[in-house]
Structure 1
């Protein structure tokens, strides 16, 4: 039975931080509501063959408004007309003289009409229309009911009632409607009570919900982590059911899996998202190469140390902190969480090169392989993952060496470390994030299963990494990858009176190492003399 918002107000209140029991429209939202109601009234007055139009704002906008979160994405659910048909009628309405002045709208307050045609291959099974109105991204779609084949997540779609539309949704908190005509929230699934209880629950029996569309498993994880809600125990059991996990592998494209995962890791609480994936047992289903069934499975018993350690580090953004020194942008923040998710693969040996492959490239490490094939990360991020996996041991050795040198008061290794950093950073591989990956792997491998992240931090092991980064900062090596060379290949060839050849790259590295040992010197003579002195070693064909 439908429950109005007024009925909800009469229930015994349950405290829910950030949850309001009244939707207060902003001026622009009220303006949009009035505009859409006038469009509906105009259609009703000119087409008596239609069931009178009822417009509702649906799903995420309602949920977020009740939680006090502003949203600029609005789905408009229509009872008796497709989204495309409504959009075309709205365009006719807007073409009439004087519509803009009647609604206090400028000509640029309503954008071009974009049709999104039905496309079952892309999981679009009905025609919708998207348009920008008053700076809101508005999607028009008809209320619908769906039925699924056993081997597909693409449903057969038919017109439905508001209740049927609510029941087909992934979670009750996403199944609420705001009726534009009555200004009331409509609840057909118990979503309001679940919002009070901060609970993510499926409108229908969980196993049926997930078998119809297994992607809903990941969507529920995303909403739980974003909103800080708890997933209903019955839903959690169904999410880890072997039939659901198999369907998630078979029915869902890896692009869709990757998109949901990206939203999680870019979201409000990526640590909570990974924790849920871990606890529910979804890791192997997500991070897999579906084209092969013989790749190894990593040990996940201590994975929680890695993602909880990153969460702890990310909350310390003080100047000079580990996170402050290693993560410089929102994009790198996302990359960091991707790397944290892949730390269980650090100890898995790389795939072997196929015999007779000649000079073929080394195969991707499994960490990069499952990220590319399982979640379809772009090539740029795949390169960062591969580099982090290949270099983490070397990075840890550099850290240990620097810490020992500082302890024994030995000579600085500025040139050795500087050249190593430039090597790690080849192909824009974000060397700082590689260091962060090494820290997370080191923590995961150092902490026994029964100990906590705080134990690792207070054990002094993390302080070694802080010492290492402090050394890099003190030695002005944090930006060594953008260091300007004093000499180039042409200059060296001219000074040595030798034609350029394969030796040039080796000679330039010698010059750069000399620069790193002699910071502040701008005269290139010393670097060139170093090349001359080592000409035989560098195989430079000098005339005798």
Structure 2
């Protein structure tokens, strides 16, 4: 079971004990605070003659406050400004620094980068990015948001601190740090309490919050995984409804969904995120054919039942196995002398972990024939390609990798079973050819196949997971002992053109078969050379 990191658990306990938690700034953060407050005081003093203008008050908002209270360092500093734009504030700050008598001040601030409005990427107001004392700072405005039923892109206007807090996705992300008072401000009146108790909830009623922006469902799931916090039942109930699932499909771009899912699967507590997807059934709105789904159903009417079964019941079964059985299997892997390092390597690299989980999640599509689509009329697409390209917007190389794993794991499982039944008859070339297609990722492929083999065995009366693990451990050991770990680098002793000249034959389809046979010979005769190869053919 995943446990909250010791430092986070200890500091959650500290937050629980403190009525008004204090944030401890680093030396650099203190200098940044002093500079910003000095300039703000200078700016406000110039407004004394104009009573209609209010003075500025600066706050750090969002994740930085949450992380600092949990004892985690954060470089994601957003400074919220209440009565001027970020660009205007930055330009005034830069001029203040340049005209300061203290020469050491002049290198404190570097560059101003204006970020225009881009609602489709959640940039609803013009903002500004700068660098102070080597630290990137985003200068943003407090804002209020109004949504329509058709889009998750709101109408945005400048707001008060309280309005800004209540429009956020979770109370723990709605805490502010006032640069002038040095105090944490909790305008929702729930943020500090929820942070202390390890709870995630929306500041406003969850149904309307999720209808306004359904992506918040995925963000809450991600934060629950990241901090091992619990989503309150009211929010889980709201995100479990088909109403919310439907608007997640209709209102949120597939790119944004893919980004959130990617962050979950690269994070520290993936099983918890997938469990929440399973419990709330929100996976239905995620692991589908996305923009291609309507077209696939239209041109494959005879396969609608097959599609529904895999998108719904089989996907649900797979997620249940991942959340309930996978932790037990991973414990076995960590105790296995041959496979433990490969398993740990997967979990130590976010990208490897991401691809590992994607292959497990979509494994039930193995053996399902490609589908004709309206998007690619000439070439039918595999279901794995449809999910990853049109629902999660994954890069082509990752789609190719995952498709290869899902399409080939049953064949490798059969190979492992055959070797287990007659281990003495294993040729070196059989072993090399079995892992060659997976390149340097062959250890990860073996781990994935063990997991999926065990998933299949779980449906039997008395699955023997230790026995299954030993079969894969034996395969791994053979690969190492027979010096096949870099088989993927092996190339034929000569290229096709040279082979044709040697044999006096014109280029043609025969070449591929001949070169494949050459690779097999090389695998079985690792110390042999070109003369040995041709001598063996006489």
Whether these two folds match at TM > 0.5 is yes
Say if 2:289 and 2:391, in contact at 8 Å, map to a contact too.
yes
The match for 2:391 among 374, 382, 385 is: 374
Find the aligned partners of 1:403 and 1:73 in 2 and give their Cα distance: 52
Find the aligned partners of 2:103 and 2:243 in 1 and give their Cα distance: 54
Partner of 2:532: 526
The match for 2:317 among 291, 298, 301 is: 301
Report deviation, 1:431.
4.2
TM-score (norm: length of structure 2): 0.86
1:91 aligned to 2:108? no
Question: Which string of whole-angstrom CA distances, capped at 9 and with x for unpartnered residues, describes residues 246-288 of structure 1?
Answer: 1111110000000011111111211211111111111110011
Q: How many residues align?
A: 500
Aligned counterparts, 1:2-151, within 5 A: 16-17=12-13, 19=15, 21-48=21-48, 49=50, 50-98=53-101, 101-102=104-105, 107=107, 109-151=108-150
Question: Which string of whole-angstrom CA distances, capped at 9 and with x for unpartnered residues, describes residues 482-514 of structure 1?
Answer: 125433334433432444443332222211111
Report deviation, 1:173.
0.4
The match for 1:495 among 499, 502, 520 is: 502
The match for 2:404 among 387, 390, 410 is: 387
The match for 2:458 among 447, 456, 460 is: 447
Shift in CA distance, 364/311, structure 1 to aligned 2, threshold 3 Å:
farther
Shift in CA distance, 525/264, structure 1 to aligned 2, threshold 3 Å:
same
Say if 2:450 and 2:468, in contact at 8 Å, map to a contact too.
no
Find the aligned partners of 2:460 and 2:254 in 1 and give their Cα distance: 32
Shift in CA distance, 336/344, structure 1 to aligned 2, threshold 3 Å:
same
Aligned counterparts, 1:369-518, within 5 A: 369-406=386-423, 410-422=424-436, 424-425=437-438, 430-448=441-459, 457-458=465-466, 460-518=467-525
Report deviation, 1:311.
4.5
Shift in CA distance, 198/59, structure 1 to aligned 2, threshold 3 Å:
same
Partner of 1:338: 358
Report deviation, 1:319.
8.1
Find the aligned partners of 1:447 and 1:161 in 2 and give their Cα distance: 55
Shift in CA distance, 320/506, structure 1 to aligned 2, threshold 3 Å:
farther
Say if 1:84 and 1:141, in contact at 8 Å, map to a contact too.
no
Partner of 1:538: none
Stretches of structure 2 that go unaligned for 5 or more consecutive residues are: 1-9, 298-306
Report deviation, 1:87.
2.0
Report deviation, 1:73.
0.8
Say if 2:362 and 2:406, in contact at 8 Å, map to a contact too.
no
Partner of 1:248: 248
| SS of corresponding position for 1:463 | helix
Shift in CA distance, 121/506, structure 1 to aligned 2, threshold 3 Å:
same
Report deviation, 1:318.
6.9
Shift in CA distance, 161/388, structure 1 to aligned 2, threshold 3 Å:
same
Partner of 1:542: none
Shift in CA distance, 317/27, structure 1 to aligned 2, threshold 3 Å:
farther
Say if 1:129 and 1:140, in contact at 8 Å, map to a contact too.
yes
Shift in CA distance, 353/232, structure 1 to aligned 2, threshold 3 Å:
closer
| SS of corresponding position for 2:184 | strand
Question: Which string of whole-angstrom CA distances, capped at 9 and with x for unpartnered residues, describes residues 24-62 of structure 1?
Answer: 111011011111112212322334553111000111001
Find the aligned partners of 2:125 and 2:162 in 1 and give their Cα distance: 19
Shift in CA distance, 382/18, structure 1 to aligned 2, threshold 3 Å:
farther
Shift in CA distance, 525/312, structure 1 to aligned 2, threshold 3 Å:
farther
CA RMSD of aligned residues (A): 2.8
Shift in CA distance, 83/414, structure 1 to aligned 2, threshold 3 Å:
same
| SS of corresponding position for 2:532 | helix
1:322 aligned to 2:339? yes
Shift in CA distance, 369/494, structure 1 to aligned 2, threshold 3 Å:
same
Report deviation, 1:529.
3.6
1:270 aligned to 2:270? yes
**Which stretch of the first structure deviates more once superposed, 189-198 or 133-142?**
133-142
Report deviation, 1:432.
4.1
Question: Which string of whole-angstrom CA distances, capped at 9 and with x for unpartnered residues, describes residues 152-174 of structure 1?
Answer: 11111112111111111110000
Shift in CA distance, 263/177, structure 1 to aligned 2, threshold 3 Å:
same
Say if 1:402 and 1:413, in contact at 8 Å, map to a contact too.
no
